[in-house]
Chain A
C-alpha cells in the first residue's frame, strides 16, 4: 500500500483508522466492547426460545450462537461500510490516498471484535468441555474466507453507494433477507429440497457450516455447495474491486 509517486507508506493510516473505528464506536458507553458479546447473547436467547419449538437440534443455543457471531460481524460490517465513503468525504477531499482504506478499516475493526468474541467462545467451550480442539481448527479457514468475502462486498456496496444513494437502503433490506437465507437458525437438512439453490448462491452458508463444525463438532459442509459459495464470493470480490477502481476518482464529483 504505497503511493507510487512519493513512496508514502499508508499502513500507519490504516492502523489508526481501524483503532479510531473501534474506539469511537463505544465512546461514552458503559459496557463498551462487551456489547459485541451481549448483542448476540440476547439474540441467541430470544431466537433460541422461540425457534427451539420448531427446530430440533442438539445444543441448539450453541448452534445459534456460533452462527450469530459470524452474522453479527458480516451485517455490522456491511451496514457500516456501505455509507463509509459518503460519511468520510471530508478525508477524501483532503488528500490523495488509497481510498480503499476507509471501508477496509471498518471491516478490520469489526474483524478484531469478531476474533475476541470467538476467543471468548473458545475459552468458554474449553472450560465447559463442550467442544474438542480437533474440530475447533475449522474456525481458521472460516474466518479467513469470511474476511475476504466481507471485504469484497463492502468495497462493492460502498463504491456503488456514492453514485446511487439507494444502495444504503438496499443494503438494509438485503441484510434482513440474507439473515434468513443463511443457516443460522436452522440446519441445512431442514430446508425443503427446492430451496437448496439459495444456500448455493449465499457465499456465507459454507462459512456458517464451518462455524458449526468448529463449535459443535458436526456441520453440513458440502463440497459442491462450498465450490458454488467460493465462486459466488469470488465474483462479488472481483466485482467490488472492478467497480471501486472505476468509481474511485469520481467520489468527490458525485458527492
Chain B
C-alpha cells in the first residue's frame, strides 16, 4: 500500500431513485416508488502515489460519485475503498461553507475541517486571503459571494492545506482566466511535490495540463484508460 495512494476493489454504489408521481388528489399526496440505480458498478482502480489521474465521461456516468467515494464522503454499497494519506477535495463548491459567516470565519472552519491545526490556519490566513483575492468581501457573509468568489476562497484554503491526495471536479471552471491560471499553477506545484491528484472534468486544458493518465467512465463502468492525449482524442471523437 506504500506506493499506492488510492485503491478501489470491486466497488459498486447503488442509490434508490425516488419517483414521486402525483395521485388523483393532486399535488398534496404523492405516490412514492423507489427503484435501484447503480451509479458505479464493479470498479477496480489503483492510483499510484504522486500520480495525476483524469476521469472523463458524459454527465451521469459516475465521475462525481467516484470522487466522493475516494474522499470517503460516501461509502460503497459493495467493495472496498482504501486511501493512503490526507485527502482534500473540491467537489461541491458550496461544500464546507456556512453562508451566514464571513469569509474569514469560513476559512477557519474549512481549514479545521480539512484537519489543519488552528495555529497553522491563523499563520496562513493572510496568504489564503491573498490567494483568494476577493478584496473586502473577505469580511462579508459568504451568502453574498458569487460562485467565482466561493471557488477562490475554497481553493485558497486547499492551496495551503498540504494534501497527500487532491480531488477536483468541474466546479473549478467557474474561475476567471486569471484565477484559472493561478489554480493550475498551484496544482502543478502540488504535482511536482508528489501530491496525488484526481480530476473529474470535461475541461481539456485542465486535463492536459495536470493529468498523465485518463480513465473514461460510461454508465458507471470504466470503459477505457490510457495516456492523456490519446484519451482526449478518443473522447472527442465519441461525443
Q: Does A95 contact B (CB under 8 A)?
A: yes
Report B-chain residues with C-beta under 8 Å of the C-beta of A250.
75
- Which residue of B is nearest A89, CB measured? B95
Mark each residue of chain B from 100 to 126: 1 if its CB lies under 8 Å from any CB of chain A, else 0: 110001001110111101100000000
- Flag if A13 contacts B92 (CB, 8 Å): no
CA distance A8 to B68 in the complex (A): 20
Which residue of chain B has the shortest Cβ distance to A12 in the bound complex?
A: B118
Q: Is the CB of B68 within 8 A of A252?
A: yes
* CB under 8 Å from chain B, chain A span 1-27: 3, 5-6, 8-10, 12-13, 16-17, 20, 24, 27
**Chain B residues, CB < 8 A from A132:** none
**A16 touches which of B72, B100, B112, B115 (Cβ 8 Å):** B112
Q: Interface size class for chain A?
A: 20 to 34
Shortest CB-to-CB span from A108 to chain B, Å, is 16
Query: Chain B residues near A24 (CB, 8 Å)?
Result: 100-101
Task: Tell me whether B74 and A252 are in contact (CB under 8 A).
Answer: yes
Identify the closest chain B residue to A3 (Cβ).
Answer: B115
With A6-B115, A94-B96, A96-B73 already in contact, the answer to whether A20 and B91 are too (CB < 8 A) is: no
Q: Check B73–A92 contact: CB distance below 8 A.
A: yes
Measured CB to CB, the closest approach of chain A to B3, in angstroms, equals: 17
State whether the Cβ of A253 lies closer than 8 Å to any Cβ in chain B: yes
* 7 extra A-B contacts, CB within 8 A, seeds A20-B101, A97-B113, A97-B115: A10-B115, A20-B109, A93-B91, A95-B71, A95-B89, A252-B74, A253-B74
Using CB atoms and an 8 Å cutoff, list the residues of chain B in contact with chain A: 15, 68, 71-75, 83, 85-89, 91-92, 94-98, 100-101, 105, 108-110, 112-115, 117-118
Q: Which residues of A line the B interface, CB within 8 A?
A: 3, 5-6, 8-10, 12-13, 16-17, 20, 24, 27, 90-97, 249-250, 252-253
